[in-house]
Amino acid sequence: MSFTARQYSQVEEYLKNGWNPNESTKSVYYAIKYNPDSNKEKDEWKMLELLLKNGAKTDVQISENPKGVNTPLTYTTECGYYGATKLLLEYGADCNYQENYMNQNGLLALRFYENNNAAKTLQLLLDYGTDLDVKQIDNKTGREKLKNFQNDYINIKDKVPNYDEIVNIIDGLGL
């Protein structure tokens, strides 16, 4: 099944006829990935919201690029899709959900910080209860990653569009 915005009414009809959006773990992911760029730029996520309103699961593993195994939440934080991240959290995505394969949590907003939404995404994840003591595959906690982010000023300052905002958020945590 295809999930472009042009096919919204078709997917809506499938749902009315009993289609379960959880038959595939990729339905939510495809609604994010194949959302037209013009909609992504406007932060419009109608197809994603349609699936979520109809019971699509948010905490599922998806094997796909850009990084092998993701969840819809880690994918949206990585790509800087703030609106999609917010929708997923509003519909119950767990920012502390551990993927079996990679053990990554929602702090991917920091690992992939070269997007304009990293600061507000970090704040959103913290507001939704991201556990800074969860260890990831590299055996580092979110707390350690935040400290390392601040300490790596020389290497990342020019790469991070909103570096100062992120540092202000980290400072506010009193790490």
Instruction: Indicate the pLDDT class of residue 9, thresholds 50, 70 and 90.
Output: confident
pLDDT over 90 for what percent of the chain?
34
Spatial separation of the C-alpha atoms in residues 64 and 123, rounded to whole Å: 26
- Per DSSP bridges, beta strands 62-63 and 69-70 are antiparallel
Quote the pLDDT of residue 104.
Answer: 58
Nearest of 86, 72, 149 to residue 113 by alpha carbon: 149
Which pTM value belongs to this model?
A: 0.87
Q: Is 107 helix (H, G, I), strand (E, B) or coil?
A: coil
State the CATH number of the domain containing residue 26: 1.25.40.20
Spatial separation of the C-alpha atoms in residues 109 and 49, rounded to whole Å: 21
For the chain, the domain total comes to 1
Segment 79-103 mean pLDDT? 85
Q: Residue 10 pLDDT > 60, yes or no?
A: yes
Q: Which two tokens stand for residue 66?
A: 């850009």
For the chain, where are the alpha helices, taking DSSP H only? 8-16, 27-33, 37-42, 46-53, 72-79, 82-90, 108-111, 118-127, 142-151, 153-156, 163-173
CA 11 vs CA 50, 63, 80, 106: distances in Å: 9, 23, 25, 28
Segment 70-88 mean pLDDT? 90
Domain span including residue 100: 5-173
Spatial separation of the C-alpha atoms in residues 9 and 86, rounded to whole Å: 23
- Using the structure block, give the residue that is written with the tokens 């970090």: 122
